[in-house]
Every structure is written in structure tokens, then in C-alpha cells.
């Protein structure tokens, strides 16, 4: 009987050399930062936009100092290069961000086109009039709980009986709108022309809107606010103050009072 040989003892495996840590080169670091900046710039340019509320024309829905993230895709004209994106046309009662159709002069008298946020009241073809502040569209009184109520104390003929009281430069309307306005009146109603919209602020007695400067073309609509990502207690005229000194002083105020004057309950508040 042959004797089986016992297996040779195993020798401990030789330690594997540690993998060398590859450090990022300065070029790669710069490339990473640039890629992040490019993605961020793409989002801010084509997909979303920051917007801050400068006035009280949309109270109580939006407050001065609300910072909004604006969706620039949903209401944009459809494009072939983004076929999976959901597009739709603006709808009545949407809150929309748009380019004001008439320019305002800047400090040097040069025309500038402001970006505004209002509520879409009238669609193309709608027949509109206001009676005692109640919006009547195509003969039907609208239930608009978001709008400021009209009372005997705040009633104003031009604002609350529109268009029975026509716009004029004496009432703050633009001259071009005052001249063009009669072309859109039919049986006492203002008729919205094709491809245009009628906008109003929710704070009806403190809003320079379509009653003062007319219709908004479809191509002027930028997008719709999604949510309020930060809100800070801000005086109504703060964003109208000129000068670098005022800006620096305001930034210092925000830094000192960030926690006490931030409206935390409005953080990530959905706009509707």
C-alpha cells in the first residue's frame, strides 16, 4: 500500500502593492468646475430662471421679496430637439412671467423692457369687462378668490368698471394703448385679439397691468413660477432704489437679519 504524499504547505501569499492614489490634476479640476458652470448656465438659460418680486401688485399671492424659480419650458413653443418635454399653451388663471409689451425709460431715458409677473385673465377671443371689480368673461362672472375684493371704500371707476371707463394718459395709461383701445371694444366688452393675452395683478387696486398698457403677445411670455425658494421681508420700493451704495447697504441688512426677517413659512411655497 503506497503512502499518499501530504500536500505541500501553503506559503502565505505575497502582499499586493497598494494601489497608487491618482490625484486630480489642475487641468482636470478646472475642467470639472467648467462643466458644472456650463450645466448651471444651461439650466438658468433654457430651463429655469430666478425672479424676485419687486412690488405688491400680486399680494397676497406673492409678496415683495419672494424669490421664485420660474419654469421656462412648459409654456415655451415646442421644439424638435426636446421631444419628451411636456408643452402646453397658457391657460386662464395661470400666473405667468412675461416681458412687458411697452418699454419704460431708465434713469438715462433709454427704453427698457421690464420682466413682470401677473395672472392671466383673458385668452385670445375672450370678451372681458369688470363690474364692481368682478371680472366677467364671455358673459360669466368669474370666481377669483385670489383677487383683492372691491369695497365701497377702495372702489375706483377706471379699475373696477373697466372698460366702461376707458384708459387715458390722465389715468396713467400709455398713450399708445389709449389710442388703440377703441379698436378692441365690442358691445361694451374688451375683446382679446388672436395671439394675445390680458393680464391683471391679484392686488387689483395696486397693479399696473393690461388695463394700463394693453395686451401681451404670446411671444412675450417667458414661463410660469414653480415655487418660492426664499422670501425676505423687503420694502416695496427697495428694488427701485438706484446706486451701488444702496445695494451694498441692502446686502448688509440681509446678512444681519437673514434669520429673523426670512419668511420661513413661505420657503418652497408652491405658486398657484
Question: pLDDT band at 42, cuts 50/70/90?
Answer: very low
How far is 268 from 270, CA to CA, in rounded Å? 6
* Chain CA centroid to CA 23, Å: 43
Cβ contacts of 238 within 8 Å, gap of 6 or more: 54, 64, 65, 250
Mean pLDDT to the nearest integer, 88-102: 95
Band of residue 74 on the pLDDT scale cut at 50, 70, 90: confident
Q: With bands split at pLDDT 50, 70 and 90, how would you rate the model's confidence at 26?
A: low
Residue 201 has pLDDT above 90, yes or no: yes
CATH number of 49-270: 2.10.109.10
pLDDT at 108: 76
What is the residue extent of each domain of the chain? 49-270
Residue 146 confidence (pLDDT): 93
Q: Is the pTM of this model over 0.75?
A: yes
Q: Residue 180: is its pLDDT beyond 60? A: yes
Which has the higher per-residue pLDDT, 12 or 102?
Answer: 102
What b-and-e string marks burial along 175-202, b requiring 16 or more CB atoms within 10 Å of the CB?
Answer: eebbeebeebeeeebbbbeeebbbbbbb
Alpha carbon distance 114, 29 (integer Å): 39
Residue 114 CB contacts under 8 Å (≥ 6 apart), including other chains: 99, 100, 103, 104
Q: What is the mean pLDDT of residues 86-115?
A: 89
**203-240 pLDDT tens trace:** 999 999 999 999 999 999 999 999 999 999 999 888 88
Q: Whole-angstrom Cα distance, residue 225 to residue 64?
A: 15
**Confidence at 16, pLDDT banded by 50, 70, 90:** low
When pLDDT is averaged across residues 22-35 and rounded to a whole number, the result is: 55
Residue 165 has pLDDT above 90, yes or no: yes
Amino acid at each position: 500500500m503506497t503512502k499518499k504524499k501530504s500536500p505541500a504547505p501553503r506559503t502565505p501569499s505575497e502582499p499586493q502593492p497598494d494601489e497608487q492614489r491618482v490625484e486630480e490634476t489642475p487641468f482636470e479640476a478646472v475642467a470639472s468646475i467648467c462643466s458644472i458652470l456650463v450645466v448651471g448656465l444651461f439650466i438658468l438659460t433654457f430651463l429655469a430662471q430666478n425672479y424676485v418680486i419687486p412690488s405688491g401688485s400680486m399680494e397676497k399671492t406673492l409678496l415683495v421679496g419672494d424669490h421664485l424659480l420660474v419654469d421656462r419650458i412648459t409654456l415655451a413653443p415646442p421644439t424638435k430637439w426636446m421631444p419628451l418635454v411636456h408643452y402646453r399653451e397658457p391657460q386662464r388663471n395661470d400666473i405667468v412671467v412675461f416681458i412687458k409689451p411697452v418699454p419704460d425709460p431708465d434713469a438715462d431715458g433709454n427704453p427698457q423692457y421690464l420682466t413682470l409677473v401677473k395672472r392671466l385673465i383673458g385668452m385670445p377671443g375672450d370678451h372681458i369687462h369688470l363690474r364692481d371689480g368682478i371680472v366677467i368673461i364671455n358673459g360669466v362672472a368669474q370666481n377669483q378668490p385670489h383677487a383683492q375684493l372691491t369695497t365701497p371704500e377702495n372702489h375706483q371707476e377706471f379699475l373696477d368698471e373697466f372698460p366702461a371707463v376707458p384708459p387715458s394718459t390722465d389715468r396713467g395709461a400709455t398713450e399708445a394703448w389709449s389710442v388703440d383701445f377703441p379698436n378692441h371694444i365690442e358691445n361694451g366688452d374688451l375683446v382679446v385679439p388672436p395671439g394675445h393675452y390680458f393680464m391683471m395683478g391679484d392686488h387689483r387696486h395696486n397693479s399696473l397691468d393690461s388695463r394700463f398698457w394693453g395686451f401681451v403677445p404670446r411671444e412675450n411670455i417667458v414661463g410660469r413660477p414653480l415655487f418660492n425658494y426664499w422670501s425676505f421681508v423687503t420694502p416695496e420700493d427697495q428694488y427701485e432704489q438706484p446706486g451701488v451704495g444702496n445695494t451694498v447697504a441692502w446686502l448688509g441688512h440681509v446678512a444681519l437679519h437673514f434669520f429673523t426677517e426670512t419668511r420661513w413659512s413661505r420657503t418652497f411655497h408652491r405658486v398657484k
